[in-house]
Amino acid sequence: MKDLLDIFSIDFIAIGIAGFIYFFFIMSFINIQRRFPKSKTNNEKTQERHDGNEPKKE
């Protein structure tokens, strides 16, 4: 029983550490994807809207 518990505890700790690193990596990757391309596309869209709307209003 001691051997099984030792193996299980080692596997559990390793899976927990790997899962934490994996989760942290995915969250940071999603945050980077949300910040850079979406902000650029939103800025481009707003600039295009302003460029298109300003002459129409004038």
Q: Mean pLDDT over residues 33-42, rounded? A: 61
> Against a cut of 0.85, is the pTM above it?
no
**For residue 21, pLDDT beyond 70:** yes
The percent of residues in the chain predicted with pLDDT above 90, rounded, is 10
Query: Residue 39 sits in which domain range?
Result: 1-58
Q: Is the pLDDT of residue 29 over 60?
A: yes
Is residue 23 pLDDT above 70, yes or no?
Answer: yes
CA–CA gap between residue 28 and residue 12 (Å, rounded): 24
As for how many domains the chain has, the answer is 1
